[in-house]
Structure 1
Amino acid sequence: MNSLRDLHSDTVLHFGPYAFYLQQRLILDGEVALRMGGRALDLLQLLVEQAGTVVSKEQLIARVWPTSVVEEINLRVHIAALRRALGDGQNGLSYIINVPQKGYCFVAPVVQGPASTLVALETCLPPQHNLPARLTPVTGRDSVVGSLVRQLPVRRQLTLVGPGGIGKTTVALRVAELLLQHYRDGVWRVDFSTLDDPTRVVDHVLRSLGLEVGSTLEALKARHALLVLDNCEHVLERCRHLVEALLLGAPRLSILVTSREPLKAAGETVQRVAPLVVPPVSALHSVEQVMGYSAVQLFVSRARARQQGFALREQDLKALREICRRLDGLPLAIELAAAQIDALALVGLQAQLDNCFQLLTQGRRTAVPRHQTLKAALDWSYDKLSNREQTVLQRLAVFKMSFTLEAAIGVISCAVLRPAQLLTLLEGLVAKSLLSLEQVNGSARYRLLHTTRSYALEKLAHSGCLRLFEVRYGHHIRRARRESSVLEVVE
C-alpha cells in the first residue's frame, strides 16, 4: 500500500487529519497536539513506517519493550488506547487492524513529506487535563486497565474498591492517561485525600476543574469529560450525592471513583482491585518463570531503582516468594520492602517480616501522609471505624486462617458484641476492604490479609486482651478438631 523508505528525523508523516513530526515525536490534529505516552508513539511509528504490512506482535513488543518481559495483554491495551486516541472507526476512518494470529497492520494511506520548520510547542493547543506526571511504570495492571478503558465510555460510572496500598489510584490514573484523547473536554482528577470538610466536596471539584468556587454544577452540564474522584472513602455520602447529581445532570460525563468501600450510588459498577500475583511454590524452578508474576516484577523493578546492579538469582527465589506472599501482593508494601534492599538484602527482609510495621516505615516522601508507610495506610482505615468495628477487627486477628461466621461468634462474641450484631459488623469490615469474604465449597469464609492481621494483633495486644482471645481461639480449635474426629468415626 505505502512504501516509506529513507525516513529522516525531520520527516513528517501525514495520515487522515494527522501530522506526525518524527523529530519532535509530536502528533498534531490540526493545531491540537495529541497527548500520547512514549510507548504509544513507538508503536505508532513502527506501524506507520510499515503501513500496509502486517507487523507481528513479537516485533512490536521487541521494539517497545526491548529489555522487559511483557505479556500480550500489555500490547493489546496500548493498541486499544492508540486506536481510541486516533478516533479509529469514527467517521468511516480506519487506521489499525488486527490480523488474527499474525499481528497488526496500519491501513490508512500515509504521505511522507519534509518538515520545513519545527512546530512551536507552545502554539499547540494541548488536551485539557490536570493529571500528575507518572514517575514509575505501572506493573501488573494491564488486564484491569484494559477492561476499564473499554468499559468507562459506556458504563459512565465505575468505582475501584480495595484496601489501602492496593494501587487504586495508580490504576485510575493509568486509565485516565489512556483515555485522554477520548474526551473532548478533558480528563480531570479530583483528589479528596487532603479534604477534611465534607461540606466542601462540590467546591473542591470546581476548584480542581479550574471553575469558580461557589458556582453550581450546571457548569458541567454540557461537558464531555472524565472525572477521576480519588480517595473518596472519608467523604462517602457527599460523593454519592455528587455522583448521582452529575450522572443525571451531565449526560456526557464519565466518572471513575477510587474508594476503600463502594459509594452505593445509583448506576454504580464496582470493580475490586486485586493484589498483584504471587508465584506458587511450583514456579520456583527458574528466575525466568518467577519473573512472569506481577508481585515479583514490581519488587525487582523497585529494587533495581534502589540498588544499582540488583539481579535476582535462583537461590533468592524462595525468599522473594515468601516476602511477596507475606505482604499479600500489596503494591505499597512491596515497594516499601524493596526500598530496604540495600540495607537488609533479601534474606534480611524475609527475617524481618514478623516485624513488618517497623520494617515498612521508610515511606515515600512525595506521597500523601497516609500512603507514605503501610502503617499510615492502615491507620487511616482503622481511625474511620466505629468503636465496635475496631473491637471486632482486633479480636479477629487471633484467627490464623480463614474462618466462618459461626467460628467468629464462638471466639469473639461477648455481652457487648452479641452474636446477632456480628454479621452486620463483619459485613461492614468487608465493605471497607479490611476483611475479605470468600466462597469455599459453598461456605462463606472470612479472611484477614497478613498485613492487616499483624496490625490488628498489635492493637489487640495494646488493649490488654490478646491473651484472653488467644485462649478462646485455642478452645475453638480443639473443639473443632474433636467434632471433626467424631464425624470421621460416624462416617
Structure 2
Amino acid sequence: MNAVESAASGFDTVVQRSVIEVGNIQIDLDGRTLRRRGETIPVGSRAFDILVVLARANGRLVSKDQLMREVWPHTFVEENNIQVHLSCLRKLLGDERGLIVTVPGRGYQLSRRRHEPQGEGTGGRRNEAVVRMAGACAPIGREDALTAIGDLLTGTRVLTLVGEGGVGKSTLATEAARRFTAHSGEPAYIISLAGLLDRADVLNAIARQCDRGASAGSMDIASFDIASFVERLKPTRALLVFDNAEHVIALVAELVDALATCTEHVRVLVTSREPLRIMSERTFRVSPLDVPEPHASRTETISFASVQLFESRAYAIQAHLDKSDAQLRCIGDICRRLDGNPLAIELAAARLTALSLDDIHQRLDDPMIMLVGGYRTALPRHCSMQASFDWSYGLLDTEQQTLYRRISAFDDAFTLEEMCAAVCDGQLTVGRAVDAASALVAKSLLNVKFDGAFACYWLTNTARAYARGLCRHDGLVKERSLMVA
C-alpha cells in the first residue's frame, strides 16, 4: 500500500503500508499493536478495532451505528460498549487522548489539526469550523447531490441549497464544505443563523465566526456593518456557509450580494427554505430521498436510500427488524407516505423504541402526533415534524397562510385554474392567490411540476396533514366547505 495523505482538511493521517500514523500514534494493522512515540501500548482487541475504524476514516466522522456495524458485525451489543472502550483508549493515549473526538448525538472521529505556515488571506489559522463540524460522513443516498453541489461551487460564487424542512440541506452543506476545503485547501466558515432574530445578532455572529478569515487584526463587533465586513474580506480566499437563512433572508441576501460584488475570492453557500433572489445566485433544490414503488421487489426496495436510512436509524437504536418481505414492504410504504423526507423517516424509525413497525404504519394518518422524538442535540424545529412546519408556517404572511390552509382540501395534484376556482373569494382574489401560490413554491411548502406549457401543484402528505390540522384547530369548517371534494 502506497503512502496516502488524508484529503480531509485539518487532519494529519498518513497510511504507510500496514501502519497508520496519527500524530505521535502508530497503529500496526498486521501486528495489531499500538505504539505511542515508539513505545508499545497494550490494548484490548475491541478497542483496537474501534481505533482502526476511526483511523481509516481519515478524519471523517464515524457514526455510532457504523462503528457498531464494523466492530460487532454479527452481534447485538449495548451502545455503552463503545463508550467503555473509548474511555479505555483515551486513558491509554495519555496526552494524545484529544485525538479521539466525540461529537454529541452524531458519532466519533480521530482528528488533529495540522500546524501549517501562515497562508495569504487566512491569517495562518486553520479552519476550525470545518475540522470540528458534525456530519462529516456522507449522508445516505446523497452522493450524486454532493457531486453536483461540488461542481456548482467550482463554477459559481453564490449557491443556495433550497428545500423543505427536514430534507437535509444543512447536512449536505456541511459535507460539501468539508469536501471543498479538502479539495481546494481554502478554509470554510460555517455560520449558523438558527435562533438569531434581529440584524445586530446576525451581524455579530457573522463577525465573530469570520474574524479568522480577515487579512489581519480583528473586527470591532460593536461597530460592525456590512460594508466594513466586506472590506476586510476582500483579500480572503474562503467559503462562507450561511446555514438556516430563511427567517433572516433579506439581510442575508443584502450581505451575500455585497460579498459577490465587492470581493473576488470569497464563495458563499447558503441553506434556506427559499432562494435569496439576487443576481449572482444559483440555486440547487434538495430533493427528498427516492422511495420504492408499491409493488417493488425485495431487491429493489432495499436499494432505495429512504429504506436504507430507516434501517440505519432502526439499527442505531437496536430495534429488531427481521427484514422479511412483509416488513420491507411496510418500511417502503412508510417511506413513501412520508414522501422520502429524511427527518420524517428518522423520526418514524425512532418510534421503534416503543412501537411496532405495524403500529407506526397504521398511525401515519396523523403524522404530526407520530413524528416526534428527534435528537436531543438537534435544533428545536428538527425535533418533530410539527415544529418543522410551525417554523415554516410562521414565516408566511396572512394571505399565504390562508391559501396554504385552503389548498389542503386537495388530495391529489391540481392545476392553477382548479386552485383559483376552489379557493378564491372576496378575501383571496385570483391575483393574490397566484402571488401566494408562487410564494409557497419558493418557500418549499408547495410543489410544482411542469409538463410542457402546463403546471400542476401538490402538497406532500405531511404538509397536507399539517395544514388540515390547522383547519381543525381553528374551526375552519366553513372555509373547508368551499374546497373541491
Q: Classify the TM-score, shorter chain.
A: 0.7 to 0.9
Shift of 1:178: 1.1
Give the 5 Å matches for 1:324-473.
324-440=335-451, 442-466=453-477, 468-470=479-481, 472-473=483-484
Shift of 1:199: 4.1
Matched residues in 2 for 1:238 and 1:179: separation?
25
Matched residues in 1 for 2:300 and 2:140: separation?
17
2:319, 2:352 within 8 Å by CA — same for their partners in 1? no
2:321, 2:327 within 8 Å by CA — same for their partners in 1? no
Matched residues in 2 for 1:161 and 1:423: separation?
21
Matched residues in 1 for 2:285 and 2:405: separation?
24
Shift of 1:137: 5.3
Give the 5 Å matches for 1:73-472.
124-125=115-116, 127-131=126-130, 132-134=133-135, 138-210=139-211, 211-212=218-219, 213=221, 214-215=223-224, 216-217=228-229, 218-283=231-296, 285-286=297-298, 288-440=299-451, 442-466=453-477, 468-470=479-481, 472=483
2:422, 2:482 within 8 Å by CA — same for their partners in 1? no
Give the 5 Å matches for 1:1-80.
20-22=14-16, 23-26=19-22
Matched residues in 2 for 1:231 and 1:122: separation?
27
Q: Deviations over 1:461-481 (max 9, x none)?
A: 22222354246423xxxxxxx
Shift of 1:290: 1.1
Matched residues in 2 for 1:187 and 1:269: separation?
19
TM-score of the superposed pair, with normalisation by structure 1: 0.72
Matched residues in 2 for 1:195 and 1:316: separation?
43
> Which of structure 1's runs of 4+ aligned residues deviate more than 6 A?
12-15, 38-41, 64-68
Bigger mean CA offset, 132-141 vs 386-395: 132-141
Q: Deviations over 1:432-466 (max 9, x none)?
A: 11101112464211111110100000111222223
Bigger mean CA offset, 397-406 vs 465-474: 465-474
Shift of 1:313: 1.7
Shift of 1:13: 6.7
3-state DSSP class of the match of 2:366? helix
Q: Deviations over 1:99-147 (max 9, x none)?
A: xxxxxxxxxxxxxxxxxxx9x9677348413132228651111101011
Shift of 1:231: 0.6
Bigger mean CA offset, 207-216 vs 137-146: 207-216
Matched residues in 2 for 1:306 and 1:147: separation?
32
Shift of 1:235: 0.8
3-state DSSP class of the match of 1:180? helix
What is the CA RMSD across the aligned residues, in angstroms?
3.2
2:191, 2:205 within 8 Å by CA — same for their partners in 1? yes
Counterpart amino acid of 1:241? Answer: E
Counterpart amino acid of 2:416? Answer: L
1:185, 1:225 within 8 Å by CA — same for their partners in 2? yes
Shift of 1:219: 2.0
Matched residues in 2 for 1:439 and 1:202: separation?
39
Counterpart amino acid of 2:289? Answer: L
Counterpart amino acid of 2:191? Answer: V
- Are the structure 2 counterparts of residues 122 and 461 from structure 1 closer, same or farther at C-alpha, using a change threshold of 3 Å? closer
2:375, 2:383 within 8 Å by CA — same for their partners in 1? yes
Matched residues in 1 for 2:142 and 2:232: separation?
34
Counterpart amino acid of 1:149? Answer: G
1:303, 1:338 within 8 Å by CA — same for their partners in 2? yes
Instruction: Flag the structure with larger Rg.
Output: 1
Matched residues in 1 for 2:160 and 2:348: separation?
28
3-state DSSP class of the match of 1:164? coil
Bigger mean CA offset, 458-467 vs 231-240: 458-467
TM-score of the superposed pair, with normalisation by structure 2: 0.73
- Are the structure 2 counterparts of residues 20 and 370 from structure 1 closer, same or farther at C-alpha, using a change threshold of 3 Å? same
Shift of 1:180: 1.7
2:160, 2:282 within 8 Å by CA — same for their partners in 1? yes
- Are the structure 2 counterparts of residues 314 and 376 from structure 1 closer, same or farther at C-alpha, using a change threshold of 3 Å? same
**Number of matched residues?**
385
Q: Deviations over 1:311-342 (max 9, x none)?
A: 42211122112211111110000000000113
Query: Which segments of 5 or more consecutive residues in structure 1 lack a partner in the other structure?
Result: 5-11, 29-37, 45-63, 69-117, 475-491
Bigger mean CA offset, 369-378 vs 213-222: 213-222
- Are the structure 2 counterparts of residues 415 and 209 from structure 1 closer, same or farther at C-alpha, using a change threshold of 3 Å? same
1:277, 1:295 within 8 Å by CA — same for their partners in 2? yes
Matched residues in 2 for 1:260 and 1:145: separation?
18
Q: Deviations over 1:135-181 (max 9, x none)?
A: 86511111010111122122121100011111100110111111223
